[in-house]
Amino acid sequence: MKRIALFVALVFAAGVSASAQMFDFSSNNRLEFGIHVGQSAATTQYARLGVGACLNVWGFYVDFLEASPQHRYDNKIKDVQYEDDMSWGINAGYQIPLFTWLKLMPVAGYFQTNEGITDASTVNISGDRDYPSLFHDYDVKPETRKHYFNYGGGISLQPFPFLSFNFVYTRYSFYGGISFNFLAL
């Protein structure tokens, strides 16, 4: 334990003595939008790959992650009803700058899981004529819907003025992604 405390103190002292501006909140002057991929519903029976998006506005961070029903985007039309499930979550937090290129992000939010029926005999079309998206109806079983308070933290690595790499670990998910700073473009 003494070694860890000594190491942290040395890293902190090296950062200060190297004229690194720690806790420089002016480095949060960024307007970013990005995407991420990771494990949704990680500590539940519905755990699987999810995709989402994030927004960072002057240090205030918001993200969304969803794992859609397994058969919803199946291109086959059958007279079958699948037992599926889905999960989604939204988190918000603030980026605390340790250095201009490294930010800590405590986050808190809401997470939900549910089970339902995907009706493969139905077809819906969204999108435009050139790139249509086909999907089936998914009806949630209301009694299976579960609500969770989600909390955790993450880091944001910002090696370039126009680019960030974000990694978040929460109670019910973990994911990473990339975002672009529109103020630097």
pLDDT tens per residue across span 69-114: 887 877 777 788 888 899 999 999 999 999 889 999 999 999 999 9
What does the mean pLDDT of the chain come to? Answer: 86
Residues 6+ away with beta carbon under 8 Å from 74: 118, 120, 136
pLDDT(6) > 70: no
Q: What integer pLDDT is reported at residue 137 of this predicted model?
A: 84
Alpha-carbon Rg of the chain, whole angstroms?
21
- Confidence (pTM): 0.79
pLDDT band at residue 118 using 50, 70 and 90 as cut-offs = confident
pLDDT(130) > 70: yes
Q: What's the mean pLDDT in 166-180?
A: 96
| Ranges 42-46, 109-113, 126-130, most confident | 109-113
Per-position DSSP letters for 101-148, written without gaps between them: TEEEEEEEEEEEEEEEEEEEEEEEEEE-SSSEEEEEEEEE-GGG-EEE
Q: What's the mean pLDDT in 163-169?
A: 96
pLDDT(20) > 80: no
63 or 100, which is more confident?
63
Q: Which helix (H) or strand (E) holds 10?
A: helix 2-17
DSSP 25: G
pLDDT(51) > 90: yes
Residue written as token pair 């079958």: 80
pLDDT(10) > 70: no
Domains delineated in the chain: 22-181 (2.40.160.20)
Round to whole Å and give the CA distance between 92 and 30: 16
Round to whole Å and give the CA distance between 11 and 107: 25
82 or 51, which is more confident?
51
Q: What integer pLDDT is reported at residue 2 of this predicted model?
A: 62
Q: What integer pLDDT is reported at residue 80 of this predicted model?
A: 83
Contact 115, 84 (CB under 8 A): yes
Q: What's the mean pLDDT in 144-152?
A: 94
Q: What integer pLDDT is reported at residue 12 of this predicted model?
A: 60
157 or 18, which is more confident?
157
